[in-house]
């Protein structure tokens, strides 16, 4: 099983939503999604894990690597709705990663940022992310 992702670039903020399981088979796709976010947005990236079924230790390492990668571009990674099976435990080389209980709380922490553009994998559906409208 792999992941599907949806990225919304807002003014000075990005939201990367994941669905599926972030395990060994999905880390390359996740790393690609982070690259997409780096290239197409500014400001912090909120990693919305509402649709994530779970993550392996390797998936958690990929998230910590994403935090370091974003920090290298002057951006911060924030988590929303971490899976119930564990929280991210970054090592000393990982920048601080704020954790929000859900996406609405994470967005509220940043104020109102209008939607600019959206991208997603082919199998992403609007039903997976009711907070974001589907593209026409």
Q: What is the DSSP letter of 132?
A: S
- pTM of the model as a whole: 0.85
Domain membership flag for residue 103:
yes
Tell me the two tokens of residue 110: 């940043």
Who contacts 39 (Cβ-Cβ below 8 Å, separation ≥6)?
none
pLDDT digits 0-9 by tens, 71-121: 999 999 999 998 876 666 667 888 999 999 999 999 999 986 676 778 888
pLDDT digits 0-9 by tens, 27-67: 999 999 999 999 998 999 999 999 999 999 899 999 999 99
Domain membership flag for residue 91:
yes
Answer whether 16's CB lies under 8 Å from 34's CB: yes
Domain membership flag for residue 127:
no
Tally the domains of the chain: 1
CATH number of the domain at 109, please: 3.30.750.24
């Amino acid at each position: 099983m792999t992941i599907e992702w949806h990225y919304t670039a807002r003014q000075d903020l990005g939201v990367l939503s994941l669905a599926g399981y972030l395990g060994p088979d999905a880390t390359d796709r996740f790393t690609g999604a982070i690259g997409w976010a780096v290239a197409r947005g500014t400001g912090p990236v909120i990693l919305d894990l509402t649709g994530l079924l779970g993550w392996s230790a390797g998936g958690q390492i990929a998230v910590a690597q994403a935090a370091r990668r974003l920090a290298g571009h002057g951006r911060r990674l924030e988590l929303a709705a971490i899976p119930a099976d564990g929280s991210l435990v970054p090592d000393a080389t990982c920048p601080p990663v704020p954790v929000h209980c859900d996406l609405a709380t994470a967005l509220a922490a940043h104020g109102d940022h209008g939607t600019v553009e959206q991208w997603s994998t082919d199998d992403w559906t609007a039903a997976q992310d009711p907070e974001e409208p589907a593209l026409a």
